[in-house]
Structure 1
Amino acid sequence: MRIISKIKTPGALKSSTSNLLGRFRHDDDGAMSYVAVTGALIMMVFGGIGIDMIHAELKRNKVQNTLDRAVLAAANMDNTMDPEFVVQEYFRAMNMSDALSGVSVDQSLNYKRVTADGNATMPSNFMSLLGVDTLQASGSATAEHGLTKIEISLVLDVSGSMGGNKIVQLRDAAKGFVDLMLPADGSDMVSISVIPYNATVNLGDTVSQYFTLDDVHDYSSCATFETNDFTSTAVDPSTELGRLGHFDPYNSSTSGGEIAKPWCATGQTSAVIAHSSDADVLKAHIDTLNAGGNTAIDLGMKWGAALLDPAARPAVQALSVAGFVAPEHSSRPAAYADSETLKFVVVMTDGQNTTQYDLKPEFKFGMSEVWVDTRGTNTLNDDRFAFRVQDNAGDDSDVYYWLGNSGQGYAMKYQNRPESSAISNGVEPYQMTNAELYSRFSIAAVASEFYYPAYVDGFLTYDDYANAYYGYQATVNGSQADTNLSTVCDSARDNGVVVYAIGVEAPQAGLDAMQDCASSVAHYFDVSGDDLNDTFSSIARSLQMLRLTQ
């Protein structure tokens, strides 16, 4: 046996190596290049890092979602359990007790704030190749539930169609709303204005003192507005407003005492209350609301928006000094830009806008043609009245019709003096203003008791009598009132006011107006009277802010 050894020369060795590399280069069956191997390894590492990051993000989402749900439940004012315990229970249910880092609670009678932090540690798989052995999944959440700086205007329809059971349902619903927003343990964060409306809005003896109405009379306190006034929510307390005439357009009272049903209510009858936080005062006032009159939703909404506009602040401050508004609310209405204050209007109707009226100018302003003989007493019912039917300028021969002498013959009925045959108790009759005349006689009574006899006896024309009989005139029709309402609703919403609008068994025109006024479809309600209480309660609960802040 021989061992044969072949030794290649350097030239032969070089040639053999070249051939081998050439074959490796051209034959890729089952083989990879160094570059391909290196690239594959890099791709595997980065793919693994991606998987680690996905796992970490899923874990972070789980931590954050659990935190969100936990603090929302813990902050709910209706939840009487310990807030920290509630959060812990949420994490325990998710098998994540070790991920809860801490819980803090800030709570008062009407406010609860819960903050929770979470952190979960998980091992890395591929990132450890880069020296990162663990990954963190952290989160934080805060929830608040409370009645924080809320201003509300309740704009309530008390027109004639609200009579019967509807007004009872409205009273109950509105009082329930007050109870929810102003709980028995108190709330210094919420103020509520009540704006009842029918054919107009009665500012009442209290609120009217802090706005400026013209001095045409002082029998009632209803303001008038021009069309352009509805483009703004503001009513400046120092700017003079027109005052609606004080008159009774429908009844035929002839007592000469006081008109039976004035177009603008007197005193505190269905009057406005501004920024009250006294639940008892609000509910007692709501209990006095009665139905009557036409429907002017635009005027109700105008005042509802005005009492949320910062222009009204001087009036609210003065009301606070007088004891009608709580001191902590004296700086309301807050500026629209105040991010800590929310403003809401809740407006409801069971009808639609109707025609609005006022006295004709010739019967609203200035002096009347009527003199009154008070007989020297303070009793209205014994007064006697003389109506000047013929004014002879430059002499004392004017002719007066004496209302109380109609059955005593022509000579006694008409006299040349504005007083009776003898001055009563030394007090002479005086000429009444139109405002005073129409505060004591209805429009129909003025026409029938004064103008009609003078027309029959030839002292006045039929046109004189007819003009007095129709002594009031339309100032705004229903269509224009709808436009005014839409305009002021737009203005309120543009200023950040949230408008809830309720149609209660209303006709289609009223429902359309409410839907147009509401902030959104979700803020509009078409309900029956039986559902009114639930509707107001639902709105109240939605105003009790439960919000995720972080």
Structure 2
Amino acid sequence: MMQKTDPSHSPRFNRTRSWLMHLARSEDGNLFIVFLPMLFIMMVWGGIAVDLMRFESRRATLQGVTDRATLAAANLDQSLDPASVVQDYFVKSGLEDSMDGAPIVTEGYKRREVSVKGRYDLDTFFMRHLNNVLYATKSENDFKTLSAIANSTAVQGVGAVEVSLVLDLSGSMYYYINGTTTRRIDKLRTAAVKFIETLLVPEYEDRISISLVPYSEHVNIGPSLFNELKVNQTHNFSHCIELPASSFTTTSFSTSTTYDQTQNIQTNAYGFGSTSKAASGYTRNTANPALDQPVCPKETFERIIPISQDSDELTTAIKKFQPRAGTSIFLGLKWGATLLDPSFQTTIAKLPSDMIDDAFVGRPEPYEAEAGANSKVKSLKYIVLMTDGYNDRSYRMNDSFYDDPSEIYYWAHHNLAWAMQSSNSGPDVSQCTYLNCSEFYTAAQGVGYMQSMCTAAKNKGIIIYAISMSGDDNDSDAVAGRTEMAKCASTTNHFFATSGAELDEIFANIAEQITDLRLTQ
């Protein structure tokens, strides 16, 4: 009989046992055990990244198609059915199943608005497996699909638009545009008139209102607005009021505050004198006592024209503009913002009935962000701010020389330079006797007030176009002024620096942007 061999004594068994024992004692492979969970985590995150990249690519494609479709459909120059245009864009992009409902098309005279919603559900490759890892039972947190949503609204034409046109009439506007024989003021008249005539056309009737705010060293609000405010009135020669520092931190206007009337004076020693304006520049004005450079503008064409669509009234005033006195951009900006702010609505409502068209009752309307989603109020608000310089200082008379009717009358008819030349003390010797030589507004204050007003306006959704007409790079003040204007503009695309030669094109460009085809979402 054949004897059976014990397997445990076989050479193969012994070799196997020896190898297993060696493997158990060996430290090789410990790193592999640590690496396994790290490898799993890397695979999970890598898979998630792939799904998210696919999702973002589809989302960007869907949004691009939605935007292009709405812009094309809203274009008034194309005669096809707007809804069909949108459908065609989605079909040709391979996204015909991604339209989330039919396009919403709203049309009016010379106006079309198109709204489109898109949705794309992406099946995930890796994230779907997270359900099994994170949730033991079926959950609403389903990672099997990711949904990309795109909404877009485009409009061409004009809805409700409120514009404040804030224009610099300071003395430096008398200078020639560099390299030309055209004065800055002449170029402004032409460009501003064309701007008005572009916006106030019959097809935009009752939709666009323009408030004209001329400014120099101050802003003349005119007798109608002046009479509706609480003012410590001292004279009837002009209609400017002094605003406290707090006024320049907000677009709103306090109708409960009592304001001081601005002195009707001329502290500027330079004017046109008794010679022709066209023949000479500024000269020291000691020969003529009249106020041709008053702190408060006093001519009727220098007054604010609020919330108007009367092209003739606006352009007639602009064509009469003359350069005079200093520059207070911040005051022009404040009044421009005030005429867009709903806090001034009750004051506007009190004006004579022939000043404001019936179509604009209720303006300034609420800001779009504050009107509510269901409100029909959707006014777009713009400030077009133009200057050829920078904020300058301003002075007032000492109270001791401006505190009775005879003194007020005297300074309304005699500028300071002429009065000092005629006095026994001689010119300039006793200037601070008459004049409060502590500046009423410093240049630095003007810059600060201007920038706080710019911020307040932009925070309310007001779009600010800023035009700096000074083109002299050798003038540090002019360069500083351009810098401040650039900071004030809503974006770099809303800022225009020019010597003045391109002013017509700049105003035309702004008018086109206000009424042009645009995406609103």
> Could you say what secondary structure the match of 1:143 adopts?
strand
Please state if 1:530 is matched with 2:495.
no
- Give the match for residue 278 of structure 2: none
Alignment of 1:321-340 (within 5 A): 321-336=352-367, 337-338=370-371, 340=378
> Could you say what secondary structure the match of 2:496 adopts?
strand
- Give the match for residue 33 of structure 1: none
Q: Deviations over 1:15-39 (max 9, x none)?
A: xxxxxxxxxxxxxxxxxxxxxxxxx
Q: Deviations over 1:310-346 (max 9, x none)?
A: 2211221123x52211223221222342252332222
Please state if 1:224 is matched with 2:242.
yes
Structure 1: runs of 5+ lacking an equivalent: 1-53, 121-136, 368-432, 453-461
- Give the match for residue 440 of structure 1: 413
Q: What's the offset of the Cα at 1:468?
A: 6.6
Q: What's the offset of the Cα at 1:514?
A: 0.6
Q: Deviations over 1:33-54 (max 9, x none)?
A: xxxxxxxxxxxxxxxxxxxxx9
8 Å contact kept, 1:213–1:221:
no
Alignment of 1:121-520 (within 5 A): 143-145=153-155, 146-163=157-174, 164-249=182-267, 250=269, 251-252=285-286, 259-319=291-351, 321-336=352-367, 337-338=370-371, 340-367=378-405, 433-449=406-422, 451-452=423-424, 462=425, 466-467=429-430, 471-473=434-436, 474-506=439-471, 507-520=478-491
8 Å contact kept, 1:197–1:296:
yes
8 Å contact kept, 1:214–1:241:
yes
**TM-score of the aligned structures, taking structure 1 as reference length:** 0.64
- Give the match for residue 33 of structure 2: none
Q: Which amino acid aligns with 2:73?
A: A
- Give the match for residue 72 of structure 2: 73
CA distance, structure 2, for counterparts of residue 176 and residue 316 of structure 1: 27
Q: What's the offset of the Cα at 1:79?
A: 4.7
Q: Deviations over 1:196-220 (max 9, x none)?
A: 1111111123433333332111110
CA distance, structure 2, for counterparts of residue 225 and residue 118 of structure 1: 51
How many pairs align?
415
8 Å contact kept, 1:253–1:441:
no
CA distance, structure 2, for counterparts of residue 521 and residue 482 of structure 1: 19
CA distance, structure 1, for counterparts of residue 62 and residue 458 of structure 2: 38
> Could you say what secondary structure the match of 1:282 adopts?
helix
Q: Deviations over 1:442-500 (max 9, x none)?
A: 33444455x53xxxxxxxxx599954786333312212211221222222223332222
8 Å contact kept, 1:248–1:259:
yes
Query: Residues 82 and 162 from structure 1, CA distance in 2 versus in 1: closer, same or farther, beyond 3 angstroms?
Result: farther
CA distance, structure 1, for counterparts of residue 465 and residue 305 of structure 2: 19
Q: What's the offset of the Cα at 1:195?
A: 1.0
CA distance, structure 2, for counterparts of residue 510 and residue 56 of structure 1: 47
CA distance, structure 2, for counterparts of residue 117 and residue 230 of structure 1: 41
Q: Which amino acid aligns with 2:442?
A: N
CA distance, structure 2, for counterparts of residue 119 and residue 494 of structure 1: 32
8 Å contact kept, 1:71–1:141:
no
CA distance, structure 2, for counterparts of residue 87 and residue 253 of structure 1: 72
CA distance, structure 1, for counterparts of residue 502 and residue 266 of structure 2: 35
Q: What's the offset of the Cα at 1:526?
A: 1.6
- Give the match for residue 421 of structure 1: none
8 Å contact kept, 1:144–1:545:
no
8 Å contact kept, 2:421–2:427:
no
CA distance, structure 2, for counterparts of residue 345 and residue 310 of structure 1: 15
CA distance, structure 2, for counterparts of residue 181 and residue 318 of structure 1: 26
Stretch of structure 1 that moved more, 338-347 or 356-365? 338-347
Q: What's the offset of the Cα at 1:276?
A: 1.2
Structure having the higher Rg? 1
Q: What's the offset of the Cα at 1:70?
A: 2.6
Q: Which amino acid aligns with 2:456?
A: S
Q: Deviations over 1:151-201 (max 9, x none)?
A: 221111111111253222222222333233333323323222111111111
> Could you say what secondary structure the match of 2:412 adopts?
helix
Q: Which amino acid aligns with 2:410?
A: L
Q: Work out the percentage of aligned pairs sharing the same amino acid.
A: 30
- Give the match for residue 406 of structure 1: none
Q: Which amino acid aligns with 1:442?
A: N
Q: Which amino acid aligns with 1:207?
A: L
Q: What's the offset of the Cα at 1:272?
A: 0.9
CA distance, structure 2, for counterparts of residue 481 and residue 102 of structure 1: 53
Q: Which amino acid aligns with 1:287?
A: K
CA distance, structure 2, for counterparts of residue 140 and residue 526 of structure 1: 37
8 Å contact kept, 1:75–1:144:
yes
Q: What's the offset of the Cα at 1:56?
A: 12
8 Å contact kept, 1:210–1:315:
yes
CA distance, structure 1, for counterparts of residue 362 and residue 328 of structure 2: 30
Query: Residues 77 and 216 from structure 1, CA distance in 2 versus in 1: closer, same or farther, beyond 3 angstroms?
Result: farther
CA distance, structure 2, for counterparts of residue 102 and residue 512 of structure 1: 47
Q: Deviations over 1:248-269 (max 9, x none)?
A: 33344677xx645433222413
Query: Residues 350 and 97 from structure 1, CA distance in 2 versus in 1: closer, same or farther, beyond 3 angstroms?
Result: same
**TM-score of the aligned structures, taking structure 2 as reference length:** 0.67
Q: Which amino acid aligns with 2:445?
A: Q
- Give the match for residue 16 of structure 2: none
8 Å contact kept, 1:205–1:267:
no
> Could you say what secondary structure the match of 2:219 adopts?
coil
Q: What's the offset of the Cα at 1:356?
A: 0.9
Structure 2: runs of 5+ lacking an equivalent: 1-52, 121-146, 175-181, 270-284, 373-377, 472-477
- Give the match for residue 458 of structure 1: none
CA distance, structure 1, for counterparts of residue 324 and residue 403 of structure 2: 26
Q: Which amino acid aligns with 1:308?
A: L
8 Å contact kept, 1:294–1:354:
yes
Query: Residues 526 and 105 from structure 1, CA distance in 2 versus in 1: closer, same or farther, beyond 3 angstroms?
Result: same
